[in-house]
Amino acid sequence: MGKLSYIGRRLVKGLFVLLAIVILNFFLIRAAPGDPAQVMAGEAGAADEIFIAQLQERFGLNRPLHEQLFIYVKGIVTLDMGWSYRQDQSVASLIGQRLPATLLLTGTAFCISLMLGILLGALAAARVGKWTDSLITVVALVFYATPLFWIALMAILLFSVHLGWLPGFGMVTVGAGHTGLAYIRDVLAHLVLPALTLGLFFMAVYARMTRASMLEVMEMDYVKTAKAKGLPPGRITRAHVLRNALLPVITLAGIQAGQMIGGAVLTETVFAWPGIGRLMFDALLQRDYNLLLGIFFVSSAMVVLFNLITDVIYTFVDPRIEVS
């Protein structure tokens, strides 16, 4: 019951955070320059005042700001995120079409970054001061400091254009008509470059944090006691050092797991990956307020969800943490 009560309290707090984010995003988007009605009128080639007024009336843009906010919040509570001006579809359906692609990309990148980061960080900490430690540290710094879009472009030029090993754009081969296992292989081939590009940046963060955390734990008294008892070095590293050193890594991973979904805009744009990151970029250019707000809401909900999952995982990784 203690854990259920803890999860319930965290869930209630998360809902209040989401409500605050919804209201804040609404006012931030409305404060941005540009009018969706003028953009749509300009695309239709009829940017006169009468046509603009008709568009504003159709989409409720001529109503007072507080009334628009009430309608939007009421829709969010009922899971109705509104209608996309530009796409002429419901926001929920547009996001539902793109979200699986983003979850596939970010989920793969997250697993790659976390596994490689912990592995390299532990290896660097075990060989601190040696050439292996220096090499891992330099590689982590390079991937952390290099702009994400530059790595993406270089990966396309090398592995797709020059070597021809992997496809550089899209999620599937256009016109191939693959089904079954052939379709899965095609998607996985398109997934390699964007997932590695996104994952290598976060891998550098996890590697450096794992190394620093393990070096700090190695100086603790209980680790020295375990060494004095004559326990094997491998058991000391696994049971006493790594397990306790993972706590800050798990915290950071839980935060960044949700942020990856909203932060995949550059990767999805460069690789033409059909996810919500690219959809958000297009919506921003088109001043599609409802679609932007819907994407922000989904991204925020994912961040809150992953933070809740992280808090629960914390109680299993370290039994000393009292959920009550």
- 169 domain-assigned: yes
Q: What is the pLDDT of residue 51?
A: 64
Token representation of residue 38: 């003028």
Q: Which residue from 102, 101, 83 is spatially nearest to 92, judged by alpha carbons?
A: 83
Q: What is the pLDDT of residue 185?
A: 87
Token representation of residue 230: 């004559």
Tell me the per-residue pLDDT of 96-116, one tens digit each, with 9 for 90 and over. Answer: 888 888 888 888 888 888 888
Q: What is the pLDDT of residue 37?
A: 61
Segment 229-257 shows an average pLDDT of 76
List of residues 6+ apart from 64 with CB closer than 8 A: none
What's the first-to-final CA gap in the chain, in angstroms? 10
- 85 domain-assigned: no
Residue 259 pLDDT greater than 80, yes or no: no
- Four-point Cα dihedral 87, 91, 97, 101, nearest 10: 110
Pick the more confident residue, 22 or 234. Answer: 22
Residue 118 pLDDT greater than 50, yes or no: yes
- 166 domain-assigned: yes
CA angle 2, 252, 270 (to 5 degrees): 130
Report the Cα 132 to chain-centroid distance in Å: 30
- 246 domain-assigned: yes
Q: What is the pLDDT of residue 320?
A: 61
Cβ-count burial of 317 within 10 angstroms (0-12 exposed, 13-18 middle, 19+ buried)?
A: middle
Which residue shows structure tokens 């296992």?
A: 181
- The mean pLDDT of the chain is 78
CA–CA dist 199, 203 (Å, integer): 6
For residue 31, give the H/E element and its range: helix 2-31
Residue 41 pLDDT greater than 60, yes or no: no
- 5 domain-assigned: no
Segment 190-203 shows an average pLDDT of 86
DSSP 170: S
Helices within 156-264 (DSSP H only)? 180-217, 221-228, 233-235, 243-263
Pick the more confident residue, 311 or 137. Answer: 137
Query: How many CB atoms are located within 10 Å of the residue 15 CB?
Result: 12
Query: How many CB atoms are located within 10 Å of the residue 261 CB?
Result: 26
- 140 domain-assigned: yes
Tell me the CATH number at 97: 1.10.3720.10
Confidence of residue 64 (pLDDT cuts 50, 70, 90): confident
CA–CA dist 204, 139 (Å, integer): 8
273 conformational bin, left if phi > 0, alpha if psi -120 to 50, beta if neither: beta
Q: What is the 3-state secondary structure (H, E, C) of 176-202?
A: CCCCHHHHHHHHHHHHHHHHHHHHHHH
List of residues 6+ apart from 110 with CB closer than 8 A: 199, 202, 253, 256, 257, 260
Q: What is the pLDDT of residue 39?
A: 58
CA–CA dist 301, 79 (Å, integer): 12
* For the ranges 29-43, 119-133, 304-318, the one whose mean pLDDT is highest: 119-133
- 226 domain-assigned: yes
Tell me the per-residue pLDDT of 19-28, one tens digit each, with 9 for 90 and over. Answer: 888 888 777 7
Cβ-count burial of 285 within 10 angstroms (0-12 exposed, 13-18 middle, 19+ buried)?
A: exposed
- 29 domain-assigned: no
Residue range of the domain that includes 157: 91-317
Residue-level length of the chain:
324
For the chain, how many structural domains are there in total? 1
